[in-house]
Structure 1
Amino acid sequence: MKALHIITGLGVGGAEQQLRLLLRHLPVRCDVVTLTNPGAVAEGLRADGIRVRNLGMRGNRDLTAVPRLARLIRRGAYDLVHTHLYRACVYGRIAARIAGTTAVATEHSLGRADIEGRPLTRGTRALYLRTERMGAATVAVSGTVAGRLRDWGVPAARIHTVANGIDVAAFRYDGAGRRTTRASLGVPQDAFVVGGVGRLVPGKRFDLLIRAVAALPGAWLVLAGDGPEAGALRVLAARSGIADRVRFLGECGAGNASPGIPEALWAMDTFVSASREETFGLAVVEALAAGLPVVHGACPAVDDLPADRAPGTTRISSLTDPVGELTTALRHRMESGTRRLPPPPAADHYDIRLSSERLMTVYAHALDTAPPTERAHS
């Protein structure tokens, strides 16, 4: 089988990095097309031996993208097209239909009132639903996302849940790595370290972590990620009087001198995902695999599982005093003395190898149910 993956962009982001990890384990010959922004993840994919093309789309309404994608699909003689993220799903499914090729789409980031961090409008939803019918199947990365798709009107028979995955072994706790990372960051070996990972954007609410750590004498904070809020967060840390106890790592593993995500997690004692709503919560799963206690807001990766699959997690839900609730939860963690936990069953549940196997089942189903003109490609 030969598949073409179409994605909106390849800057450092959750969906983009998930695609790279998945392609390392998917037993299919794959190429990738990015509509825009061939960033750091594109470089990583090429280093993995994946062919990556940049379509050079000039904007959301660059309709020339459709015929150009259709030509790429025909010339590549692909058996299947797999699209990722809203714009790629809309244009890619239309192009696949024109080329007579079966299409599968993954819905990575669908919130209650937003998609990929942007407000959902009536027009956005209508266009999504019209083009969704052009594909053979839609993959949801969690049961929560699958439920939202059904609520939108996507037929249940077309929805397949394939959870995001991680390379569990890569995050297994390493005590020597912890000591080395703390030393490189100038963090005392005996300090209590709170951590967060993700894009530095308002929705992640990293400001709550800074305010909570400021209320905990002796606690340190490590933030891995970059984004438009980086400057404001640094200013907040300085105004809160804890600039010397906060480490901003930038994009881990993006060619800078910062440690990778596993090393950053090993250096932490408690992980926090303060988002009011995550569409999945992959960083939480990585933290659990590293043996960290986790404090989190709405997070399908944890919330969709039975409680006994993710022990060591604490849910925060206060709308009136989120800083106070987070501070209390962190103080409890700090006073408990617990620094590491055995990786819970949730970590193995989200192993990338299982995600790959489940996706291959979706591919087989999509090709079996495709019209004869599309099935002829396979």
Structure 2
Amino acid sequence: MRIFFRQVDWRVALMMGPRHRFSPAQWQRLTPLAEISPNVKVAALINALLLSLVLVWGLPNPLMLEAYVVALCLSLGALGLGVLVWRRPTMKRLYLAYGLSSFPLGLLAGVATVLLRGRPDLQPLAHDLLLRGAGLAFVCAMGIWVLAMWRNEFMAAWLHEEDERAHKQELAQRLSSAQIQPHFLFNSLASLQHWVSSKDDRAAPLLASLTAYLRATLPLFDRQRLAIGEEAEAVQRYLEVMQARLGARLRFSLALDPLAAQQSLPPGVLLTLVENAVEHGVQAQLSGGEVRLQAQMAADGSLIVLVLDDGPGLPADWPGEAQTASNMTQPLSHAQGSLGLLNSRLRLQQAFGARASLCLSNRAQGGCQAELRVRPEASALTTSTIKT
């Protein structure tokens, strides 16, 4: 019993009104929730028509039509008050709705009292109408109260879920952005130490490239989106470091369309794809290989990013299907960049939803191809079509 009473929110139980208060910034975030769908509007109108009919049912025929019109006007007025509370379910608007709903009923009661004075034969009918009006007022008041309470709780829960989602997305971004491979740094520093000790001429270029790489990766830690051109800087520095270590075994090239370079992606996605290509397409074979990064815009406005290598390619039993938003959370069965690719797919899903896809496949001429595609939003596509 004690547990039961501890779980009771007495502010809600005693009908004291909505308990959550929102700041102006929170109301701004809640703006998309203010709209009412056409389905709800039609359903509310149908209920107003039926409720008005129920309230006047059984009245004498000469009065039924007039009473129905009055009841319908009151019901529609209650719907208007419901819309007022729906958009901002606050204590102030709830009390305003109560005041506005009681005013016409009080006015009708006063008018009926004056008009029926001296007409004892019509007083029973007037009492019946007043009781029906009071019933309508009670139903409307309870409906508005339930709407305000539910809507207030719903908005608070929605804000909490959005905050949690944003927090998880930020953590995922920081985790993914922090995937500067430890073994890559350790091996690079070990090579640098060895070359410095042996006075190897390759030490200075490696130190310059490693410093430039670390500087270029700083934006990956504090942004939700990063322009492809900016991340390509980090990619190039990474490839320069790996080329200093691998020598002639690694060849690379970057080809970015100017418009594609201005597009943005979650930070670290391109770097992850290039790291996978180097690790599994170049280092996996003694002869080394070539890594190419290409970014371009398709005719339909889609962003297409390709990371190509001429290494051994994917295993024979690799699934090979495009990892779109519908299956981005599926676990990968192979070790080839599984953690980094899964993280990248999840972050693409968070950023673009079903518009993004990431597909790995074998190239006809040998090697592996990672294709990242982001389709344009429907509104942008419609605008482009109209202009055309």
Same structural fold, with TM-score higher than 0.5 when normalized by the shorter chain: no
Structure 1 or 2: larger strand share?
Answer: 1
From the CA coordinates, give the structure whose radius of gyration is larger.
2
